[in-house]
């Protein structure tokens, strides 16, 4: 009778710790009768092992993702799409160069460019002399305004050029095609059986580690 009462008391004392773990944790039968010191020692070992398992599971999961992403990055479909973007960038640059080259014949544009160059030269000269304050502020503002006048003329000329506009539109299309392929691939990973299996293993390992840490925290009062 006394033995039965003692066992009931021991189980009751163990309930707070067991409630932290949850009903599915695998603990040795003698755990409920361990001293606090022995529990801490046991739980510390479990945490260490669980952390190792979680690290390995995370490495396996990330490794699998990297392998699949590397394969995708080398896929003919993506390489062709990226090549199209690169070619379109060259087309746009060539169209822009023609527009700006033609713009050089515009006297007003040439005047604005000269004003910008003179304004920047003045700012550089003041910097070398160590000039600051209002004089430097005025010179910098003049250089900025001169640069804006040049940029405004260039922007308008480009906006009015059919070849440049066509190349820019094409660049948007080819860039979107690349982005669509990447989005489609990343979405496919969410249903990839191999990835899902490793993801589940990582989630299980993380849960196991979290429970082990919670148990150790309950015994020591601090997280390890």
Within-domain flag for 60: yes
Separation between Cα atoms, residue 149 and residue 106, nearest integer Å: 13
Q: What's residue 25's pLDDT?
A: 57
Within-domain flag for 169: yes
- What's the Cα-to-Cα distance from 212 to each of 24, 25, 28, 77, 180, rounded to whole Å? 12, 9, 14, 46, 42
Within-domain flag for 172: yes
3-state secondary structure of 130: coil
Q: What is the mean pLDDT of the chain?
A: 89
Give the pLDDT confidence of 8-64 residue by residue, as tens digits.
444 444 444 443 444 335 788 898 898 889 989 999 999 999 999 999 999 999 999
Q: Is the predicted pLDDT of residue 219 greater than 70, yes or no?
A: yes
Within-domain flag for 68: yes
Within-domain flag for 121: no
CATH code of residue 195: 1.10.287
Total domains in the chain come to 1
Q: Range of 214's domain?
A: 34-104+162-220
Within-domain flag for 156: no
Within-domain flag for 88: yes
| Torsion (CA) 95, 96, 102, 105 in degrees, nearest 10 | -170
Within-domain flag for 2: no
pTM over 0.85: no
Separation between Cα atoms, residue 31 and residue 42, nearest integer Å: 9
């Amino acid at each position: 009778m006394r033995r039965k009462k003692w066992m009931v008391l021991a189980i009751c004392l163990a309930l707070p710790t067991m409630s932290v773990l949850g009903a599915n944790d695998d603990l040795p039968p003698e755990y409920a009768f361990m001293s606090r010191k022995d529990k801490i020692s046991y739980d510390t070992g479990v945490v260490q092992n669980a952390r190792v398992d979680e690290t390995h599971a995370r490495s396996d999961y990330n490794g699998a993702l990297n392998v699949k992403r590397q394969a995708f990055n080398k896929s003919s479909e993506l390489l062709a799409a990226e090549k199209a973007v690169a070619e379109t960038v060259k087309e746009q640059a060539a169209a822009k160069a023609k527009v700006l080259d033609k713009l050089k014949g515009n006297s007003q544009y040439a005047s604005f460019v000269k004003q910008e160059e003179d304004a920047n030269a003045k700012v550089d000269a003041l910097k070398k002399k160590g000039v600051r304050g209002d004089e430097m502020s005025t010179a910098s503002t003049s250089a900025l305004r001169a640069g804006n006048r040049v940029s405004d003329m260039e922007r308008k000329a480009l906006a009015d050029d059919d070849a440049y506009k066509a190349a820019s539109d094409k660049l948007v299309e080819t860039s979107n095609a690349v982005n669509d392929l990447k989005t489609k691939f990343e979405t496919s990973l969410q249903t990839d059986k191999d990835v899902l299996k490793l993801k589940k293993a990582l989630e299980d390992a993380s849960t196991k580690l979290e429970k082990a840490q919670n148990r150790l925290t309950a015994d020591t009062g601090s997280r390890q």
